[in-house]
């Protein structure tokens, strides 16, 4: 294959790559713009790219997207430019390209907004290209470059003009979504655009009040070291929020380690978390770092922490207190430094009362609770989510399909007890079952009727709205499982009476309920557990206890 070396060849190849990027229906606007700036740097040596958008209340241009600029300096406003100052302001006011070939020789250039290349500002050029849509300037695209006799500024300007014309429609689309949050309370209203950009950059879809309230909580504590606990029903996107908290933090360049405490058998969970030494148990043929040690200097996300066994809770508490982890079979503790994020759909107040969760660990991890709203509280996001998944699965399965009129209203009228994960499943099923190029209302109704039959039965007492009713706070997320609401009668280790429990006790009549759930889920134990409002571990425990009383459907 011929090597691409000439400027024109490189620019042509770059434009082809950008065109492919912009045509990706499954990629978010934020992802497209961030990737675009990365491509400019890697392919054309146009570094520190930034897209500046207007803040009309302050009459300044602010960095909305960038590549290579220090996040902490962006937050401090280092690169913010008034409308009437500098090259960026000139491009914004006049709609014309502005550039300097050496930032140190031009008085009009605001030198603080330039970043050194190879340790120096000498002979660095700066180019600003307005982003126009229908004759209106909606933003400014700016880049830096080193002096290069083999590459003319006119070639770079021509390239950036084309690139800016591609970004305009993306920004207009985003502006329309920003306008959707005009009804939000004052603080959200002021920062709504920034929170939406946070969502876009992390592939989180939506602009509803409930969603952006959760994003605001993450934004406020992103650079704190305090543990975050994500609360909400299954399928609300807790792992995506955990990843967003990591990417927006100062630890973004360090590892993000995720483990689901409910998906790993108890016998293996200790080794997965804490690691082990060679020969420490049968099958330990080599030393293995645990997830905690792997997360050193980064972020550790413990999903479904409410299902962690008590003995491992005690060991985790010691790690958080001492900032040391001791692998199985080792007498040498390893120093660890990580930001902890946990998630659960379990009501920990109930788990505390039952003795299934330690009170001291609860206080240690529940410093910053963030409530993730169920999909039924995000009505205005359902249309965008459904369209996103339609585009994704149409491309994945090579189907040319679209929704007919009335489908979005049908989707919004459903309660979505399985939340976003359930919506994704419904849309995927609709794409696969579509006989032509249109998915009509009747097809969606049929699929939703099937869903209702699984989540809504008189025998099990489960409806589409009461699978986890205790997860919805009456006022704010901070009141969820607040310390004053926890009635605790055990010791500090939370090892309460071993007598009979008053909640979720295994009863003989449960066998019929379990048989019904297994029948409705075609033998899928995880799905049957969700129907019954249990965790997978609780379901397996009951299945083992009831034994032969429960036969396969």
pLDDT of residue 454: 76
| Span 138-158, pLDDT tens digits | 899 999 998 877 778 888 999
Distance CA 274, CA 174 (A): 44
- Look at residue 489 and tell me whether its pLDDT is greater than 50: no
Of residues 360, 413, 361, the one with CA closest to residue 386: 413
Pairing mode of beta strands 98-100, 136-146 = unpaired
Which own/partner pairs from 331-336 qualify as long-range (CB within 8 Å, at least 24 positions apart)?
334/293, 336/292, 336/293, 336/295, 336/296
For residue 474, what pLDDT band results from cuts at 50, 70 and 90? very low
349, part of any domain: yes
> What was the pLDDT predicted at 259?
94
Residue 279, pLDDT above cutoff 60: yes
Domain boundary among 117, 149, 179: 179
Read off the pLDDT band of 70 (50, 70, 90).
confident
**263-291: burial string, b at 16+ Cβ within 10 Å, e else:** ebeeeebbbbbbbbbeebeeebeeebebb
Instruction: Please indicate, yes or no, whether residues 356 and 392 belong to a single structural domain of this protein.
Output: no
| 436 & 361 share domain | no
Same domain, 124 and 227: no
The CA distance from 36 to 15, in Å, is 10
Residue 194 lies in a domain: no
Domain annotation covers residue 205: no
Q: Is 300 helix (H, G, I), strand (E, B) or coil?
A: strand
Cα dihedral 479, 484, 485, 488, rounded to 10, equals 140
Model pLDDT for residues 16-55, shown as the tens digit of each residue: 888 888 887 666 777 788 888 988 988 888 999 999 988 8
Same domain, 356 and 447: no
| 192: confidence class by pLDDT, cuts 50, 70, 90 | low
238 and 303 share a domain? yes
Determine the pLDDT at residue 425: 95
Give me the pLDDT at residue 367, please. 92
pLDDT given at position 191: 62
Tell me the average pLDDT across 266-281. Answer: 82
* Nearest by Cα to 530 from 425, 431, 429, 417: 417
Lowest mean pLDDT among 70-74, 314-318, 384-388: 70-74
> Which CATH number do you get for residue 520?
1.10.10
Contact 35/66 with Cβ under 8 angstroms?
no
Q: Are residues 333 and 272 in the same domain?
A: yes
Q: Do residues 361 and 235 share a domain?
A: yes
Domain that includes residue 257, residue range: 221-371
> Same domain for 171 and 228?
no
- According to the model, what pLDDT value does residue 250 have? 92
Determine phi and psi for 14, rounding to 5 degrees: -65, -45
412-449 per-position pLDDT tens digit:
889 999 999 999 999 999 999 998 888 999 999 999 99
Tokens found for residue 163: 């690139």
- Residue 417: closest CA among 305, 309, 531: 531
pLDDT tops 70 at residue 467: no
Q: What is the pLDDT of residue 194?
A: 77
pLDDT value, residue 472: 39
In a domain, 468, yes or no: no
Q: State mean pLDDT over 308-333.
A: 91
- Is residue 476 scored above 50 in pLDDT? no
Four-point Cα dihedral 215, 219, 225, 227, nearest 10? -20
CA angle 281/284/289 to nearest 5° reads: 110
DSSP H or E run through 138: strand 136-146
Helices 29-44 and 186-201, axial angle in degrees (round to 10): 50
Residue 55 lies in a domain: yes
Please report, for the domain that includes residue 22, its CATH number.
Answer: 3.30.450.40
Would residue 267 count as lying in a domain?
yes
Same domain membership, residue 105 and residue 84: yes
Report residue 498 as tokens.
Answer: 């071993």
Taking alpha carbons only, the member of 356, 348, 346, 430 closest to residue 386 is 430
Domain contains 263: yes
- Tally of domains in the chain: 4
Choosing from 371, 388, 406, the residue where a domain stops is 371
Token digits of residue 138: 């909606």
The whole-chain average pLDDT of the chain stands at: 80
CA distance 352 to 359: 7
Same domain, 348 and 280: yes
Q: 39 and 168: one domain?
A: yes
**514-537: per-residue pLDDT in tens?**
877 777 777 777 778 777 777 777
């Amino acid at each position: 294959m011929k090597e691409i070396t000439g400027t024109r060849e490189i620019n042509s190849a770059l434009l082809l790559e950008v065109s492919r990027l912009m045509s990706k229906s499954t990629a978010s606007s934020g992802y497209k713009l961030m990737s675009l700036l990365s491509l400019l740097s890697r392919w054309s040596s146009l570094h520190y790219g930034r897209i500046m958008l207007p803040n009309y209340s302050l009459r300044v241009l602010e960095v909305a997207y960038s590549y290579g600029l220090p996040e902490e300096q962006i937050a401090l406003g280092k690169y913010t430019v008034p409308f009437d100052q500098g090259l960026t302001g000139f491009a914004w006011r006049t709609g014309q390209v502005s550039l300097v070939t050496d930032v140190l020789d031009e008085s009009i250039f605001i030198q603080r907004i330039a970043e050194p290349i190879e340790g120096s500002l000498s002979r660095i050029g700066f180019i600003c290209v307005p982003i126009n849509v229908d004759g209106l300037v909606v933003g400014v695209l700016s880049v830096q470059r080193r002096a290069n006799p083999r590459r003319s500024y006119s070639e770079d300007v021509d390239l950036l003009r084309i690139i800016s014309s591609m970004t305009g429609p993306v920004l207009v689309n985003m502006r329309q979504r920003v306008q959707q949050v005009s009804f939000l309370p004052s603080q959200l209203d002021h920062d709504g655009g920034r929170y939406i950009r946070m969502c876009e950059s992390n592939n989180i879809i939506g602009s509803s009040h409930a969603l952006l309230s959760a994003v605001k909580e993450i934004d406020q504590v992103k650079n704190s070291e305090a543990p975050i606990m994500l609360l909400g029903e299954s399928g609300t996107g807790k792992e995506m929020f955990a990843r967003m908290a990591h990417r927006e933090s100062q630890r973004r360049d360090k590892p993000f380690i995720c483990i689901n405490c409910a998906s790993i058998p108890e016998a293996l969970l200790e080794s997965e978390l804490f690691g082990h030494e060679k020969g420490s148990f049968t099958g330990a043929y080599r030393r293995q770092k645990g997830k905690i040690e792997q997360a050193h200097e980064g972020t550790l996300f413990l999903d479904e922490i409410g299902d962690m066994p008590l003995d491992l809770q005690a060991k985790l508490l010691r790690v958080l207190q001492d900032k040391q982890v001791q692998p199985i079979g080792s007498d040498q503790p390893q120093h660890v430094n990580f930001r902890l994020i946990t998630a659960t759909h379990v009501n920990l107040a109930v788990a505390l009362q039952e003795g299934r969760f330690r009170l001291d660990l609860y206080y240690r991890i529940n410093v910053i609770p963030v409530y993730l709203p169920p999909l039924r509280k995000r009505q205005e996001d359902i249309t965008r989510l459904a369209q996103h998944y339609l585009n994704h699965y149409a491309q994945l399965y090579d189907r040319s399909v679209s929704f007919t009129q009335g489908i979005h209203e049908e989707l919004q009228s459903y309660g979505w007890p399985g939340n976003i994960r359930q919506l994704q499943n419904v849309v995927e099923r609709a794409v696969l079952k579509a006989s032509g190029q249109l998915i009509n209302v009747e097809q969606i109704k049929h699929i939703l009727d099937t869903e209702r039959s699984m989540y809504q039965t008189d025998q099990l007492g489960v409806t589409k709205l009461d699978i986890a009713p205790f997860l919805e706070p009456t006022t704010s997320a901070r009141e969820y499982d607040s310390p004053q609401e926890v009635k605790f009668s055990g010791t500090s280790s939370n090892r309460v009476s071993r007598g009979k429990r008053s909640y979720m006790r295994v009863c003989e009549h449960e066998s019929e309920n379990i048989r019904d759930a297994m029948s409705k889920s075609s033998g899928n134990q995880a799905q049957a557990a969700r129907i019954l409002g249990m965790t997978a571990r609780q379901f397996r425990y009951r299945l083992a206890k009831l034994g032969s009383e429960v036969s396969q459907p």
